[in-house]
Amino acid sequence: MDANRAGWYMRRAGYYFLLDSENRTNNLPLFQADSSFFLHTNTFYSGYYALESVNLPDYYIKPHVNGRLKIALITKSANYYDTACFRIYNNGSSE
């Protein structure tokens, strides 16, 4: 959810994302599935996380070459793993 606007979520629109209000949808179950992700630990690399789409299994969030976030079907390649995983930092440390 957008920290500055209650009820606004990052939602899948095709294979990219947009911020959308759940109050403007006419299909709340689809909206909720499109804006929900599984947080996986150690999926690609130890100590790293990945976000998998609830609505599209085996599709993970990763950056596109144009800099926008997208979801893409998993491929067994180092390039995919490198761009689909991330670490969570706490106050500038990697604890």
Residues 36-65 have pLDDT tens digits of 999 999 999 999 999 999 999 999 999 988
Residue 55 lies in a domain: yes
CA 10 to chain centre: 8
Q: Per the structure, how many domains does the chain have?
A: 1
Residue 90 has pLDDT above 90, yes or no: no
Residue 95 lies in a domain: no
Residue 21 lies in a domain: yes
Domain of residue 45 covers: 8-84
Q: What are the structure tokens assigned to 10, written together?
A: 């990052």
Residue 90 lies in a domain: no
Residue 69 lies in a domain: yes
11 three-class SS: strand
Residue 51 lies in a domain: yes
Q: Which amino acid is at 76?
A: K
Residue 22 has pLDDT above 70, yes or no: yes
The domain that contains 27 carries what CATH number?
Answer: 2.80.10.50
